Structure 1
Amino acid sequence: MAYFTAVLAPEGSGDDRDWRSVDIDLEAGSPDELGDALRGAVDDDRPVLAVLEREDEWFALVRTEGDIDVKVFVSDAVAAAESAYAPLFAELPAATGRPVHAARDEDGEADGETGLEEDGDADEGTAEPARSESGVAEDVWAGDPELLGDLGVSAEVLVRLATSSADPAEATVEIGELLGFADVLESLR
């Protein structure tokens, strides 16, 4: 499966905000390392947003602005923990407020577990995430759902897109439409 990455920076503010792509290769690393790379890609303290997608699996957003700490949100932390970008998501708090780590079976393969019992207590990486009656894992997103709130995408909308969209590209396009960068994002695909 392929990855898609884009780095975007706004020019202007409010309704007059235009987004442009920033030419930078996103290397896997910690949030601080990625934040430093994003800050170095622009000349001032404006926000910089990285959009990452793993085809048919998950999307992630990474934002930094000036000296503000890096904010990260991922739609499926369990799947993302098995990706090339795993270091970026390693210490994110889960929807329940606890770190998400995919458990591994005897062969070292991810078994889809998050290390959280249904009541939210940590259990050394052996319990499954809460599941709905249909057996679908719920609330596997992690990170800061408020990272786009001041730009126009509320935490509620971001979580809804993370939990309801089967296609990560559709979710990021919808985010792009809300913020005004959908055309730029699609031109990069």
Structure 2
Amino acid sequence: MYFAALLARTEDGWEASDTELDDVESLSDFVELAREGSADDDMVLVFIEQEDAWFGVVRVEELEDPRIYVSDAAAAARSSYGEILTNELLGTGGEDPVADLDSLDLDGTEDGESDHPDPGAAGAVEPEADETALVPAQAGPVPTGPVGDRQILADLGMTEKELLALGSDALSDIADALGAAEILEAVR
């Protein structure tokens, strides 16, 4: 189960709203969601948490590139929304090497392709082709632990050390450090 909320900084302080992630399929969707939550191009933090397994923060400000932090990349990569964030941070670009292998028969040929293609034909797969060659070079084991911008909240009162030390109630602790604990709890 996910919890997601927007925390927007305005001239009058912080405003929080819960949000639905049903239409989020990419980082661009996270950014659009954040910008819709801000009336005047103010800074918006998108908080997302999955049952104390991991949490993420996406920081969106005006026309700047979004900044992202994920508390545990390996745990997040196993969830649909976390996978979006970890793919962005780790440079996998959403490619799924396993899906690429799913279209192969056990003999290494693509579905519907002859077991013995013309050796000179473009795209011919050698029978002894190693399936690992099909895995993109940047794809590898997803690291356990935090990834992303560890300074994402430093200018707002939460140091890198404090961010890395957060436990199971991380989003509440972040909101408390920002002076927005009551506002976030109201939408939780």
Shift of residue 91 of structure 1? 2.5
Identify which of 45, 64, 72 aligns with 1:68: 64
Give the superposed CA RMSD.
Answer: 2.8
Shift of residue 154 of structure 1? 1.8
Q: Kindly indicate whether the alpha-carbon contact (under 8 Å) linking 1:51 and 1:62 is maintained by their aligned counterparts in 2.
A: yes
Equivalent-residue separation in structure 1 for 2:138 and 2:18 (angstroms): 42
Correspondence 1:51-66 to 2 at 5 A: 51-66=47-62
Q: Which amino acid aligns with 1:160?
A: A
Q: Kindly indicate whether the alpha-carbon contact (under 8 Å) linking 1:28 and 1:88 is maintained by their aligned counterparts in 2.
A: no
Q: Kindly indicate whether the alpha-carbon contact (under 8 Å) linking 2:158 and 2:177 is maintained by their aligned counterparts in 1.
A: yes
Correspondence 1:143-154 to 2 at 5 A: 143-154=148-159
Shift of residue 103 of structure 1? 9.4
Q: Kindly indicate whether the alpha-carbon contact (under 8 Å) linking 1:6 and 1:21 is maintained by their aligned counterparts in 2.
A: yes
Structure 1 runs not aligned, ≥5 long:
109-121, 130-136
Residue number in structure 2 paired with 1:6: 5
Structure exhibiting the larger radius of gyration computed from Cα positions: 2
Q: Kindly indicate whether the alpha-carbon contact (under 8 Å) linking 1:11 and 1:20 is maintained by their aligned counterparts in 2.
A: yes
Look up the SS of the partner of 1:49 in the other structure.
Answer: strand
Equivalent-residue separation in structure 2 for 1:123 and 1:67 (angstroms): 28
Look up the SS of the partner of 2:88 in the other structure.
Answer: coil
CA separation of 1:187 and 1:23: change in aligned 2, threshold 3 A? closer
2:159 maps to 1:160 = no
Shift of residue 124 of structure 1? 5.4
Q: Kindly indicate whether the alpha-carbon contact (under 8 Å) linking 1:53 and 1:59 is maintained by their aligned counterparts in 2.
A: yes
Moved more, 68-77 or 143-152: 143-152
Q: Kindly indicate whether the alpha-carbon contact (under 8 Å) linking 2:4 and 2:19 is maintained by their aligned counterparts in 1.
A: no
Shift of residue 42 of structure 1? 1.6
Shift of residue 123 of structure 1? 8.5
Residue number in structure 1 paired with 2:14: 19
CA separation of 1:145 and 1:39: change in aligned 2, threshold 3 A? same
Moved more, 144-153 or 28-37: 28-37
Structure 2 runs not aligned, ≥5 long:
103-136
Cα deviation 1:100-156 (Å, max 9, x = unaligned): x9998xxx9xxxxxxxxxxxxx89535x85xxxxxxx6xx11111111122111222
Equivalent-residue separation in structure 1 for 2:68 and 2:76 (angstroms): 12
Q: Which amino acid aligns with 2:159?
A: S
Q: Kindly indicate whether the alpha-carbon contact (under 8 Å) linking 2:2 and 2:48 is maintained by their aligned counterparts in 1.
A: yes
Residue number in structure 1 paired with 2:176: 177
Shift of residue 51 of structure 1? 0.8
Look up the SS of the partner of 1:91 in the other structure.
Answer: helix
Equivalent-residue separation in structure 1 for 2:97 and 2:67 (angstroms): 24
TM-score (structure 2 length as normaliser): 0.67
Q: Which amino acid aligns with 2:61?
A: E
Residue number in structure 1 paired with 2:105: none
Q: Kindly indicate whether the alpha-carbon contact (under 8 Å) linking 2:27 and 2:88 is maintained by their aligned counterparts in 1.
A: no
